[in-house]
Structure 1
Amino acid sequence: MPTIAADSLALQRFYHWERQAPTRIALTQPMGGGALQEFSWAQIGEQVRRMASHLQALGQAQGWEPGAKVAILSKNCAWWLMSDLAIWMAGYVSVPLYPTLAPETIRQILTHSEARACFVGKLDGWEGMKPGLPEGLPCFSYPLSPADAKQAYEGWDAICARHTPLQGEPLRQADELATLIYTSGTTGAPKGVMHSFGAFAWAMSAALKRIPMGEQDRMLSYLPLAHVVERVLIEHGWLHTGFSVYFADSLDSFASDLQRARPTIFFSVPRLWVKFQQGVQAKLPEHKLALLLSLPLIGGLVRKKIKKALGLDQCRVAAGGAAPMPVALLDWYRRLGLPVNEGYGMTENLAVSHITLPGQNQTGSVGPTYAGVEARIAPENGELQMRSPALMLGYYKEPQLSAEAFTADGWLRTGDKGQIDAQGLLRITGRVKDLFKTSKGKYVAPAPIEDRLGQFPAIEACVVTGANMGQPVGIVMLSPTAAAHSQSEAERAALGQALATHLDAVNAKLDPHEQLDCVVVIRQPWTVDNGFITPTFKVKRNRVDEVYGPQLEAWVAQRKPVVWGD
């Protein structure tokens, strides 16, 4: 790793703002019912230091090892960021969990990471998640935690009240482990991606060369902070530049949250950019909008009005990523005067790999590399490989998987196929392996889901697919016996009801982003002759996607748990 300036590391940046701008408002937190709570850098410092004292005292009392893991299970809020800072200040490593995980996944991550404690914060589905917390694990609640969590665990304010602030400026070194970011792998089991403080600092320095940000900027935090993009862009962008962070209250209040924050920089996944577009089109049909935008004076007024209605009238940099952005969608926003820069990255490289250049039309690609990032295409399989100082240290407690993630000469294997043109622009063309992303930017490993889905007696073979869709879809081929007994309406209805019940049972064991939108029943046999099956009787995923992919949207649009695809 190149030399990282000590004052660019996360904690040192925090101390800088604590000293230089103690009274400036840094975080704005909705408290429900329209109420807001603001935190200055000095107030944040006071609470973080008190919580760090608590974590150190608890660690000493319970014999925590240096670099012990402390988890954060919460939706985005001011206390999430303060918890992370307190964990680091106390000398420990943070383990963020998505606030929508199934209890089995929560337990798996907390056990695998050997988490010594957990912040249980703002959550919508706490009752379902609670069984995932190991018995006896010390937990702490936030002011916005569910009521029974606040009853069960000591609260943030009470803990801060009984501790004196940690003094001085405890430092963490560039090569020290900062966090474990758990991400799904090809087996479906979450892997703990290890990142150092130096990697985060380098990633921010590279990002700022491409997209300048400063203390005058405003950002709305609403994508999970457990996700690498939000973690780098919001948390480390905030610490590095000192910009103001506003938090979203709820899904229902998102539009008003956006209006309140009026972000100057806004990142979202393709699915939300599509929802914004659909909202505009519902009020202003596309043909009418196109006509208005073509008129010189009126077009400018219409653009301003629409952007203001979206809460993006102050947005100077808009970006999308985590899944491919449709070209037509990018063109639509460009006509609106809100060009969206498309980025590409992954947890293993802190999402700092490629992004289109602001002010240039590079639609159809994800742009060139960030400064300091190297990229190449492997000749044997077309895989994009890259390296930079922001690469992970490896997967926690998985030396073999860590070794497999890199080539012999130290390049990260992305698992994505790509093409790099003469201008250095990268186009992603597919996946080397079966793992795919939904339009929400979440990876789905199909094999474990197929194993569960295929346990239904009438199913002979199945494939889980749905890259770039909202949710995965199961496509199943019936056994010859089941196909023979599903000829009449009554037989289909009975089989469909039983399969729908099985689908509910499968989905109940999956994380939200993995749950199947529907199961499509295909009665046409998949054979070697028609190209669906290999000679060793394995289903060819590419063939399934090629034949059925164009019909997926229409099947999902039926809004039925079981769809007959023939």
Structure 2
Amino acid sequence: MPVAFRLPLQVFFEREARHPRKAFLVQPIGDGEVQTLTWGEVGHQARSTAQWLRARDLPPGSHIALISKNCAHWIIADLAIWMAGHVSVPLYPNLTADSVAHVLTHSEAALALIGKLDDWPAMAPGIPNGLPTISLPLCPAGDFDYRWADLQACPPIQDNPEPAASSLATIVYTSGTTGLPKGVMQTFGALGFAATRGTELFGLGEGDRLLSYLPLCHVAERMFVELASIYTGQTVFFAESLDTFLTDLRRARPTALFGVPRIWTKFQMGVYSKMPQKRLDSLLRLPFIGKRVGHKVLAGLGLDALRIALSGAAPVPEALLRWYQRLGLDVLEVYGMTESCGYSHVCRPGQQTLGWIGPPCPGVEVRIDAVGEVQVRSDATMLGYFKDPQRTAETLTDDGFLRTGDKGEQDAHGCLRLTGRLKEIFKTSKGKYVAPAPIENRLAEHARIEQVCVVGDGLTAPIGLCVLSAGSQDRQALRGSLERWLEQVNQTLDKHERLRQLVVVKDSWAVENGFLTPTLKIKRTVIESTYGAQFQLWSARSESILWQD
């Protein structure tokens, strides 16, 4: 039986009419100043932009690219593209010129809106010749064909267009952990289904606040910030930059926040940089005092008003979840994919079991196939990959289930636990298969291991490559700490999974140097190609802890 849901523009028009003077988007504009845009102002700017787009006489359903960091006009531009009857194609704001050229060419973009960016000169060569560009507010200096002021000079459209649920709304390009990005096609119906049902889970409303800082072009931020704010009426605060992130967070004091595991780890490390771990842990164990200390720590981070804290995109170390629990905050795991609008499984408040993500979201069917792959089906499932029927057929089963590529298991209540990625599983030279993700998750619980990648294809035993967080501990003391930790972790693993050694690499793994995706997940192919020539040499060494020369 079809599930009732509302479509994104329909909900936006209702809010625009009902509370036009209510604050919607709060944008930093530099020097500590912010600009607050109301629902009515957002509607007016989007409608004027839609009028300008309509005047281009583009074929209905043309693909319009959006290249910008998170900002108020990212959302305004997205709404305008939809109002004009077109399809939005968002790009990550830190792509190389080659990647920009690939996405714009592959998506057949007819226009490109350029917004807030850190390194436009490095991206600009990727704009194909002849592709018209439009500058949004806060855009970098450059030679653009049209300016935002040109668009705002147009009279706003007066109608309330409502595209059909089956119409294509957006093409979301994946972050490319396994190769070239794929263009995931999502309809208005899929977005509306996921947003309608997803926002019902947490009881958020017009008095709540969000902070937008993860890339809006990623499905998680698109759903949890853009769509969730439209469907619930929340106010969205934007982060200005990494340097001002904590200031932005304290200003927003969000009541709901989505983060990837590395963000939650960064918060913890920031706390430890101001108070030694042992002292804080001792204080948190004290009756009465511990609760006050936990609240003070959260207040210092700007997290004291949080009611809903979610983490997704990668597994979270259980020790990290327990640490937040001691502070008085339950960080709930969520699981989804771009291909399912990020809508699949989520832990419900008050029902957390560490190590398990939670039950399926309403309207999601789940099955585990013969090899242990998690497969899901719902009205949020993609149409397919743009111009790639072969990959579409490989990813969607004949009966409409999405092959996630994740191995997992369910308990008696339908809660999901992931046990690895099918494509990440490798075989040692002894013929034994190893799933790296659970081991990495365990290793990452060490306070100084910031990032870790377990490799071992063709080796006698796996090894772990790790990047350490900044700290003052001398190498010898750190070696002893890592040796003890490696021994402790190995005792929890099957014999064929046990690591021969940990290698501390000298590089930092970041988005900018290609080691991480824009959503801060490690790119295994890049790590393996960078260090692969040394795997056998390291494996032949007798030491359990090595530092890269």
TM-score class, shorter: 0.7 to 0.9
Deviation of 1:78 after TM superposition, in Å, equals 0.4
Q: Does 1:105 align with 2:117?
A: no
- The whole-number CA distance in structure 1 between the counterparts of 2:71 and 2:425 is 31
- Alignment partner for residue 9 of structure 2, among 8, 11, 15? 11
- The whole-number CA distance in structure 2 between the counterparts of 1:37 and 1:315 is 23
Give matches, 1:43-442, under 5 Å. 43-58=41-56, 60=57, 64-148=58-142, 151-161=143-153, 163-184=154-175, 188-379=179-370, 381-434=371-424
Match of 1:41 in 2: 39
Deviation of 1:279 after TM superposition, in Å, equals 1.2
SS of structure 2 residue aligned to 1:306: helix
User: 1:264 touches 1:317 (CA, 8 Å); kept in 2?
Assistant: yes
Q: Deviations over 1:381-412 (max 9, x none)?
A: 11011111110011111112111112222211
Moved more, 268-277 or 209-218: 209-218
- The whole-number CA distance in structure 2 between the counterparts of 1:258 and 1:383 is 38
User: 2:67 touches 2:91 (CA, 8 Å); kept in 1?
Assistant: yes
SS of structure 2 residue aligned to 1:214: coil
- The whole-number CA distance in structure 2 between the counterparts of 1:435 and 1:109 is 29
Deviation of 1:66 after TM superposition, in Å, equals 1.4
Give matches, 1:499-514, under 5 Å. 514=523
Deviation of 1:470 after TM superposition, in Å, equals 4.4
- The residue type equivalent to 2:13 in the other structure is Y
TM superposition score normalised by structure 2: 0.81
- The residue type equivalent to 2:2 in the other structure is P
User: 1:318 touches 1:341 (CA, 8 Å); kept in 2?
Assistant: yes
- The whole-number CA distance in structure 2 between the counterparts of 1:69 and 1:359 is 43
Change in 2 beyond 3 A, CA 1:276/1:184 = closer
Q: Deviations over 1:74-114 (max 9, x none)?
A: 00000000000000000000000000111111111111110
Change in 2 beyond 3 A, CA 1:473/1:383 = closer
Change in 2 beyond 3 A, CA 1:477/1:416 = closer
Deviation of 1:376 after TM superposition, in Å, equals 1.0
Match of 1:536 in 2: none
Deviation of 1:136 after TM superposition, in Å, equals 1.2
- The whole-number CA distance in structure 2 between the counterparts of 1:42 and 1:410 is 40
- The whole-number CA distance in structure 1 between the counterparts of 2:51 and 2:204 is 33
SS of structure 2 residue aligned to 1:147: coil
Q: Deviations over 1:41-65 (max 9, x none)?
A: 111111111100111111x1xxx22
- The whole-number CA distance in structure 2 between the counterparts of 1:392 and 1:4 is 18
- The whole-number CA distance in structure 2 between the counterparts of 1:287 and 1:186 is 37
SS of structure 2 residue aligned to 1:283: coil
- The residue type equivalent to 1:383 in the other structure is E
Change in 2 beyond 3 A, CA 1:271/1:510 = closer
- The whole-number CA distance in structure 1 between the counterparts of 2:332 and 2:193 is 21
Change in 2 beyond 3 A, CA 1:471/1:99 = farther
User: 1:4 touches 1:198 (CA, 8 Å); kept in 2?
Assistant: no
Deviation of 1:208 after TM superposition, in Å, equals 2.3
Change in 2 beyond 3 A, CA 1:78/1:302 = same
- The residue type equivalent to 2:251 in the other structure is R
User: 1:76 touches 1:221 (CA, 8 Å); kept in 2?
Assistant: yes
Match of 2:432 in 1: none
- The residue type equivalent to 1:394 in the other structure is G
Q: Deviations over 1:496-538 (max 9, x none)?
A: xxxx99x99x968997764649626537489xxxxxxxxxxxx
- The residue type equivalent to 2:249 in the other structure is L
- The whole-number CA distance in structure 2 between the counterparts of 1:291 and 1:75 is 41
Deviation of 1:211 after TM superposition, in Å, equals 1.8
Q: Does 1:27 align with 2:25?
A: yes
SS of structure 1 residue aligned to 2:200: helix
Give matches, 1:523-542, under 5 Å. 524=536
Identity among equivalent positions (%) equals: 48
User: 1:476 touches 1:521 (CA, 8 Å); kept in 2?
Assistant: no
- The whole-number CA distance in structure 2 between the counterparts of 1:94 and 1:203 is 18
Deviation of 1:186 after TM superposition, in Å, equals 7.7
Q: Deviations over 1:267-321 (max 9, x none)?
A: 1010010111111122222222222222223222211211110101110111101
- The residue type equivalent to 1:156 in the other structure is W
Match of 2:493 in 1: none
- The residue type equivalent to 1:143 in the other structure is P
- The whole-number CA distance in structure 2 between the counterparts of 1:369 and 1:175 is 24
Deviation of 1:187 after TM superposition, in Å, equals 5.7
Q: Deviations over 1:187-213 (max 9, x none)?
A: 612111011111111112221232221
Q: Deviations over 1:139-162 (max 9, x none)?
A: 1112201122xx43422123212x
Q: How many residues align?
A: 475
- The whole-number CA distance in structure 1 between the counterparts of 2:196 and 2:32 is 36
Change in 2 beyond 3 A, CA 1:471/1:38 = farther
- The whole-number CA distance in structure 1 between the counterparts of 2:301 and 2:537 is 49
Change in 2 beyond 3 A, CA 1:336/1:472 = same
- What runs of 5+ residues in structure 2 fail to find an aligned partner? 427-435, 442-449, 460-505
User: 1:102 touches 1:509 (CA, 8 Å); kept in 2?
Assistant: no
SS of structure 2 residue aligned to 1:75: coil
Match of 1:2 in 2: 2
Moved more, 152-161 or 296-305: 152-161
- The whole-number CA distance in structure 1 between the counterparts of 2:114 and 2:286 is 53
Change in 2 beyond 3 A, CA 1:435/1:196 = farther
- What runs of 5+ residues in structure 1 fail to find an aligned partner? 437-464, 479-499, 527-543
RMSD over aligned CA atoms reads 3.0
- The whole-number CA distance in structure 2 between the counterparts of 1:275 and 1:509 is 18
- The residue type equivalent to 1:417 in the other structure is K
TM superposition score normalised by structure 1: 0.78
SS of structure 2 residue aligned to 1:190: coil
SS of structure 2 residue aligned to 1:116: strand
